[in-house]
């Protein structure tokens, strides 16, 4: 049986666009919901990118939607990054190597990421 952990078990309404710090030295990653096979995160980037030479190679799949801002993701083997604007979403299969090459530096780039195991 799968366990489900809901962050902040009270029934208070939250907003994905609120409580964002004025300065972000590092990308902000917050887990909103977690179970054995699922993790939902809010990610806020402001000019943050994957460090040079680093690639994400995740054991789980990741479905991501860009709620605000703009970003570019490069997949291993591709010569051009995928450009994302507000409202764009994509599914990244498990072990599909990728890196974030650009996020807007002048505005918040807000992602909703759903990590899932099959």
Cα(91)–Cα(97) distance, rounded to whole angstroms? Answer: 13
Encoding tokens for residue 77? 């083997």
- Least confident range of 3-7, 29-33, 92-96: 3-7
Report yes or no: 102 and 49 within 8 Å, Cβ to Cβ: yes
To the nearest whole percent, how much of the chain has pLDDT over 90? 86
**What does residue 80 show for φ and ψ, rounded to 5 degrees?**
-125, 140
pLDDT at residue 6 is higher than 70? no
CATH topology of domain 25-116: Jelly Rolls (2.60.120)
Nearest to 53 by CA among 35, 76, 79, 80: 76
How many Cβ atoms sit within 10 Å of the Cβ of residue 13?
4
Residue ranges per structural domain of the chain: 25-116
Give the end-to-end CA distance of the chain in Å, rounded to a whole number: 15
| Confidence (pLDDT) at 28 | 97
What digits encode the pLDDT tens for the residues 8-65? 566 788 899 999 999 999 999 999 999 999 999 999 999 999 999 999 999 999 999 9
Report yes or no: 114 and 67 within 8 Å, Cβ to Cβ: no
Output the pTM of the full model: 0.86
């Amino acid at each position: 049986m799968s366990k489900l952990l809901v962050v902040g078990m009270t029934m208070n309404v939250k907003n994905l666009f609120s409580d964002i710090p004025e300065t972000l030295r590092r990308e902000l990653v917050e887990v909103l919901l977690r179970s054995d096979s699922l993790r939902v995160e809010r990610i806020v980037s402001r000019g943050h990118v994957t460090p040079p030479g680093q690639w994400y190679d995740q054991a789980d799949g990741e479905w991501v939607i860009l709620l605000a801002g703009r970003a570019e993701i490069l997949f291993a083997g591709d010569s051009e990054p995928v450009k994302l604007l507000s409202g764009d979403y994509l599914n990244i299969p498990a072990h599909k190597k990728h890196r974030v090459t650009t996020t807007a530096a002048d505005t918040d780039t807000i992602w909703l990421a759903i990590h899932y195991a099959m």
